[in-house]
Amino acid sequence: MIHKTAAELGALIAAGEVSSVEVAEAHLDRMAEAEPKINAFLHVDRETTLAQARVVDDRLRSGERLGPLAGVPVAHKDIFATRDMPTTAASKILEGWRPPYDATVTGRLREAGLVILGKTNLDEFAMGSSTENSAYGVTRNPWDLTRVPGGSSGGSSAAVAAYEAPLSTGTDTGGSIRQPASVTGIVGMKPTYGGSSRYGLIAFASSLDTPGPFARNVLDAALLQEAFSGHDPLDSTSIDAPVPSVVEAARTADVAGMRIGVVKEFAGEGYQPGVLARFHEVVQLLESLGAKVVEVSCPSFATALPAYYLIAPSECSSNLARFDAMRYGLRVGDDGTRSAEEVMALTRAAGFGPEVKRRIMLGTYALSSGYYDAYYGQAQKVRTVISREFEAAFHQVDALVSPTTPTTAFPIGERADDPIAMYLADLCTIPSNLAGNAAISVPCGLADEDGLPVGLQIMAPVLGDDRCYRVGAAVEKALESRWGGGLLSKAPAL
């Protein structure tokens, strides 16, 4: 059961061949076996999960028409508000907090009949690339338990790669869906900014945060994206425009005649040789499938990382001001002798981890009077230049490709004391966050040096999400026959 795709499970449940409760039980059993090693989940409650599955079974039995994923389990990143489960963003400052409402993404999962298996681990407030910044312990990569599963949505990527869930949700602010998908050998998609709702998502950098899906194959990811995305009046940056069907695109799986650009700046020095080897092979594969491949130069992409590390911390310093010891979660030192300011300072000092504090300080500095123009203002100009470069590139080609991340999964601890090395994991993913366009990571093989998964990033224009799925599915289809049984069948058994 746990090896089936989400589409297959949905079809079996719809046909009445298996119940949603049985599918949930199989995954809960798998979690009981895998979690001691993986630690993908922060919160699991068997009874709440089975109760949801029973409701879906009843709805289906009574003849209600639900979507293609009705009854299928999903692991949900613990940054989305869930009214029946704790929501912590992996921070001590939110320990024990239960939101009084559901995020839009959560609500749509429920409406489509998906069953939430639990809440997954992440870097605190989604700041990081390894889950090592979680206040509740690191998640381990199912391919090699001594390595990170990527981040910030590392619990979600590991859960899917370890067959604990067929689907999971993530958020991508600078690469937090694509990079973990890449290093765990699964599919992860960052939709167009504004294509999926931020309502009820704990904010990190509001102009960048984008919910998206993880799955073990391209079609499943498309089905999940279609289930929870679309216009939401509760999110002021939500796009109210018709979007091409990503499910149809995933089924098309054809690149004949498409123009595909290789980003020249993202495939040279500093990249792991095994990553480059798989990337160059997959570019050739695209050509053999009938795509017209050209090299495209995007020189400003090299400035995306420094610009991001001014813009994202600036927004985070403002967003995280709401954790003031009065409204949510933790409150430290409130013994009647201290002022509100003192309680606030003590609570924030105790509740936030070191990376979150670093970002708040960086952002506060970048926004402060006298420095604003030189840092935040300058970074915003760079952002505009990057968007224009994307636009120019998309006049030339239908999609751009690059490796998703410069290296395969790195060992736990290796970059923990070196923030710059950690930040470099998102070198290739950040430009699409700054410009808001769609981008996906699909597996393209294993690196020779370490036998670990390599991801191909496919970037498409704003609202061109369908192109990511179309190209991704074509690559998947062509490689599947070579791998036989899918890339994950090569992962060492847990």
**Interface with ligand GLN includes 212 (CB under 6 A)?**
no
Nearer CB in complex with ligand GLN: 127/401: 127
| In the complex, least distance from residue 339 CB atom to ligand GLN, rounded to whole angstroms | 33
Nearer CB in complex with ligand GLN: 74/316: 316
Is 236 assigned a catalytic role?
Answer: no
- 273-288 helix and 465-483 helix, angle to the nearest 10 degrees: 100
Per DSSP, 302 falls in state: G
Answer yes or no: are the C-beta atoms of 248 and 254 closer than 8 Å: no
Between CA 205 and CA 175 the distance in angstroms is: 13
Nearer CB in complex with ligand GLN: 79/343: 79
**Interface with ligand GLN includes 173 (CB under 6 A)?**
yes
| In the complex, least distance from residue 140 CB atom to ligand GLN, rounded to whole angstroms | 18
| In the complex, least distance from residue 328 CB atom to ligand GLN, rounded to whole angstroms | 20
**Interface with ligand GLN includes 128 (CB under 6 A)?**
yes
Residue 118: strand pairing partners: 75
* Options 125-133, 375-383, 394-402, 475-483: segment touching ligand GLN (CB under 6 A): 125-133
Is 37 assigned a catalytic role?
Answer: no
**How far is CA 64 from each of CA 54, 112, 393, rounded to the nearest angstrom?**
14, 11, 46
Q: Which residues, including other chains, have CB under 8 Å from residue 104's CB and lie 6 or more apart?
A: 197, 199, 200, 228, 232, 234, 235
* Options 167-175, 194-202, 217-225, 274-282: segment touching ligand GLN (CB under 6 A): 167-175
**Sole binder of ligand GLN in the list 152, 300, 314, 405 (CB under 6 A):** 152
Pick from 72, 83, 73, 70: nearest CA to 31: 73
Q: Single out the catalytic residue among 156, 176, 196, 229.
A: 176
**Sole binder of ligand GLN in the list 57, 144, 164, 172 (CB under 6 A):** 172
**Interface with ligand GLN includes 129 (CB under 6 A)?**
yes
| In the complex, least distance from residue 176 CB atom to ligand GLN, rounded to whole angstroms | 3
Q: What is the CA radius of gyration of the chain?
A: 21
Nearer CB in complex with ligand GLN: 19/176: 176
Q: Residue 282: what residue type?
A: V
**Interface with ligand GLN includes 107 (CB under 6 A)?**
no
**Interface with ligand GLN includes 176 (CB under 6 A)?**
yes
Pick from 215, 236, 238: nearest CA to 225: 215
Q: Single out the catalytic residue among 19, 20, 77, 197.
A: 77
**Interface with ligand GLN includes 314 (CB under 6 A)?**
no
**Interface with ligand GLN includes 202 (CB under 6 A)?**
no
- Binders of ligand GLN in range 392-411 (CB under 6 A): none
* Options 60-68, 69-77, 121-129, 267-275: segment touching ligand GLN (CB under 6 A): 121-129
Q: Single out the catalytic residue among 130, 152, 157, 238.
A: 152
**Interface with ligand GLN includes 211 (CB under 6 A)?**
no
Between CA 337 and CA 306 the distance in angstroms is: 43
Pick from 107, 104, 21, 8: nearest CA to 58: 21
**Interface with ligand GLN includes 174 (CB under 6 A)?**
yes
Tokens of 111: 């409406």
Nearer CB in complex with ligand GLN: 107/128: 128
| In the complex, least distance from residue 208 CB atom to ligand GLN, rounded to whole angstroms | 8
Q: Would you say how long the chain is, in residues?
A: 494
**Interface with ligand GLN includes 232 (CB under 6 A)?**
no
Tokens of 61: 């039995």
Q: Give the CA dihedral 332, 81, 198, 71, nearest 10 degrees.
A: 160
Is 176 assigned a catalytic role?
Answer: yes
**Sole binder of ligand GLN in the list 115, 127, 458, 460 (CB under 6 A):** 127
Q: Which residues, including other chains, have CB under 8 Å from residue 253's CB and lie 6 or more apart?
A: 218, 470, 473, 474, 476, 477
**Interface with ligand GLN includes 426 (CB under 6 A)?**
yes
Per DSSP, 391 falls in state: H
Q: Which residues, including other chains, have CB under 8 Å from residue 1's CB and lie 6 or more apart?
A: 9, 18, 22, 23, 26, 27
First to last CA, the chain: 17
* Options 171-179, 327-335, 378-386, 435-443: segment touching ligand GLN (CB under 6 A): 171-179
Answer yes or no: are the C-beta atoms of 374 and 441 closer than 8 Å: no
Between CA 203 and CA 209 the distance in angstroms is: 7
| In the complex, least distance from residue 61 CB atom to ligand GLN, rounded to whole angstroms | 40
**Interface with ligand GLN includes 226 (CB under 6 A)?**
no
* Options 24-32, 58-66, 98-106, 172-180: segment touching ligand GLN (CB under 6 A): 172-180
> Contact positions toward ligand GLN, by CB under 6 A?
126-129, 152, 172-176, 204, 312, 426
Residues noted as catalytic: 77, 152, 176
